[in-house]
Amino acid sequence: MTTDLDPRLEDAARRRLTRLLDAIDVGPAPVTPRATADPARSIDPSGPFDPFDPIDPSGPIDPFGASAPGVPSEPGDATVAAGAARHPTVLDLGTFPARRRAPLRRRAVVGVAAAVAFVLGVAAAVALQPDGGGTPPGREPDTSVDAGDVPRLVPDRLPEGIEPFEAAELPLPADRLDYGRTDVTVYADTAGTLDLGVIVVADETVGMGGTETTVRGGPGRTGTSSEANDIGIPEVPGGFEWVSWSESVDVEVTLASRSLPAEDLAALAESAEVDGTTVRLPDLPAGLTEQGVLEGMPFGGASYVPGAADGWYDTYYRPISPTPGVTLENPMAQVATFHDPDGRAAAAIRWMVDARFAPLPVRDGDAWVAETSTVDDQRTVTVVWEEAPGVIAVVQAAEIGIDEVLDLVEGLAPAAG
Amino acid sequence: MKPSMGDAGGEADAVDELFRARWGPSVRLATALTGDPSVAEELVQEAFLEVSRRWEEVDNPAGFLRTVLVNRCRNHRRRLGVGRRHQPPPPRLTVEDPDLDETWQLLAALPERRRAALVLRYYEDLPIADIAALLGCRPGAVASLLHRGLADLRKVLSDDD
């Protein structure tokens, strides 16, 4: 059903907008851009920002890790077997391995430091290093914080040309979410052979590509990862399939999976029960249980953070584009730490960036590292680790090489109060 | 008829012709969608580049150009999402007429989708079905966006009655 529009208002809007936009001063057209005139946008892997081949099995990160392709351990489930056949190891959302404990001497020092900080009542807000991060704020990572006490991590060095752009505190204020918000719920089976992501975007339209289809009696779209628009899931080796529909004017729902085919997703969509931004799936395939939830992620935000959690969210960038700040052209890195006591937000993030990536030792523990590319051909590196019990850290970088990103991660330390 | 790869000179001329004809309207459209004329020019250049890359595959270059441009404008705003509020304000538009300036202020303050629907409908003269395809939503949603957008602009539009 469409809403009736007032013809007089429509005519007035046509006249007024035409006058307004035609009054915008536009200079003469410059030289016609040619496809060969923009080599910087090429995705040639020999380009300046690609020191690491993400699918090279001999590289430092094995995308399949220890979970070699094999027969699913859950018996008697044809769906599981089909999923395994499609994509052998789609998910590894297990809990983080226990962190290596710091030596007693360091723990004592850190404990004293924490006590001093407590006595002084250190304020949470800390300015970024004004010289671009040049002064080391202390190299020892503080692993002694309580779950509810989220450290803010600042780098003691930045990749060449990268400078601080913005510091923000979580939870995000409401005006940071006025471009829409995204909730992501991830389901998986214990064997790691099946996965399903439910992505709900509110107050914004997704504008998915793909092909038209009918979902829940109305128009919907379906496609593969390379046909998805900016729903926050980058394109990864193997890709994913998705089905999307508008549940209402302000709510769009996407079901995405790296193991379930589009027809299964369509069937799940048909039986979904949607109430506002809450989606219930009564016909989930056997064995799938909820593994991760990321709520209130700012739609279009360049990094993955739960908008309502306590934490920090700092942005660094390399100014290349005439437009300052976070643009598609400017390489950037974002460092977030947030309270995630059950690891559910971290699990959702790990599914989003690439469920198959393997742990890599960084910062005295194991981190999860993924290198992916978005539908905009941006190469991104995401590093996720447990900085302290109940505190997750995420570094996400675009168009910055993985070596530089890992170097930045190693140089992070809690900001001094 | 659209020149093909086999007619390289003709294709180049056609791209040039499209560029000359659509540069101004495209920059104006992108300015309305992003609020920033300098960003608009950058995005229009990128959109033209995409059109010239895929000239062989595209039946309707002008329509494809608009689709690419609208998507780039939307993606640009999304990427700005969190950070944009801490950037310097974009350059003000050169709109001397106070009435038009008031219209611009109201238009620029609208939520992105509402503004896009209004501009695509009443400046680009696109049918609702095409706008729905561009914005990736149902036609009913576009009608709702237009309804709310017209209500937002009612203050200035009523002067035209």
Residues 77-136 of B with CB under 8 A from A: 77-88, 93-97, 100, 103-104, 107, 111-113, 118-119, 121-123, 125, 128, 134-136
Q: Which whole number is the average pLDDT over B100-104?
A: 83
Q: Does B2 touch chain A (CB under 8 A)?
A: no
Domain boundaries of chain A, sorted by first residue: 124-175+302-414
Inter-chain touch B38–A322, beta carbons under 8 Å: yes
Inter-chain touch A313–B82, beta carbons under 8 Å: yes
Task: Say how many C-beta atoms besides its own lie within 10 A of residue A247's C-beta.
Answer: 20
pLDDT confidence tier of residue B7, bands split at 50, 70 and 90: low
| Alpha helix positions (H), chain B | 8-34, 37-53, 61-80, 98-109, 112-122, 128-135, 139-157
Q: Which stretch of A159-168, B34-43, B131-140 has the lowest confidence by average pLDDT? A: B131-140
CATH architecture assigned to B95-161: Orthogonal Bundle (1.10)
The interface pTM score, or ipTM, of the predicted complex is 0.83
Mutate to test the interface with A, among B65, B79, B97, B114 (most CBs of A within 10 A): B79
pLDDT tens by residue, B43-56: 999 888 888 888 88
Which 8-state DSSP code applies to residue A178? T
Q: Is the pLDDT of residue B15 over 50?
A: yes
Per-residue confidence (pLDDT) for residue B54, from 0 to 100: 85
C-alpha B96/C-alpha A254 separation (Å) is 45
C-alpha A392/C-alpha A368 separation (Å) is 11
Inter-chain touch B122–A175, beta carbons under 8 Å: no
Q: Give chain B positions within 8 Å (CB) of A8.
A: 161
Per-residue confidence (pLDDT) for residue A116, from 0 to 100: 31
Four-way CATH pick for B1-91: 1.10.10, 1.25.40, 1.10.1740, 1.20.120: 1.10.1740
| A191: region left, alpha or beta (phi > 0 left; psi from -120 to 50 alpha) | alpha
Q: Which residues of chain A have pLDDT under 50?
A: 1-2, 36-77, 79-148
Q: Does A3 touch chain B (CB under 8 A)?
A: yes
C-alpha A193/C-alpha A209 separation (Å) is 27
Compute the radius of gyration of chain A from its Cα atoms: 23
Compute the radius of gyration of chain B from its Cα atoms: 17
Q: Which residue has the tokens 């609020």?
A: B35
Minimal Cα–Cα distance from A405 to chain B, Å? Answer: 20
Inter-chain touch A302–B140, beta carbons under 8 Å: no
| A343: region left, alpha or beta (phi > 0 left; psi from -120 to 50 alpha) | left
Domain A124-175+302-414 falls in which CATH fold? Answer: Protein Transport Mog1p; Chain A (3.40.1000)
Task: Say how many C-beta atoms besides its own lie within 10 A of residue A273's C-beta.
Answer: 9
Q: Does A213 touch chain B (CB under 8 A)?
A: no
Q: B61 or A229, which is more confident?
A: B61
Domain boundaries of chain B, sorted by first residue: 1-91, 95-161
Inter-chain touch A3–B147, beta carbons under 8 Å: yes
Reduce the secondary structure of A381-416 to three states and give it as a string. EEEEEEEECCEEEEEEEECCCHHHHHHHHHCEEECC
Cα dist from A69 to A66, A286, A356, whole Å: 9, 21, 11
Q: Is the pLDDT of residue B113 over 50?
A: yes
Name the residue type at position A351. Answer: W
Q: Across the interface, which of A16, A230, A324 has its CB nearest the CB of B157?
A: A16
pLDDT tens by residue, A141-171: 333 343 348 999 999 888 888 888 878 888 8
With residue A292 as reference, give the H or E element that holds it. strand A289-298
Percent of chain B residues past pLDDT 90, beyond the cut: 9
Cα dist from A165 to A76, A149, A214, A298, A299, whole Å: 53, 24, 44, 18, 19
> Residue A151 in contact with residue A388, Cβ under 8 Å?
yes
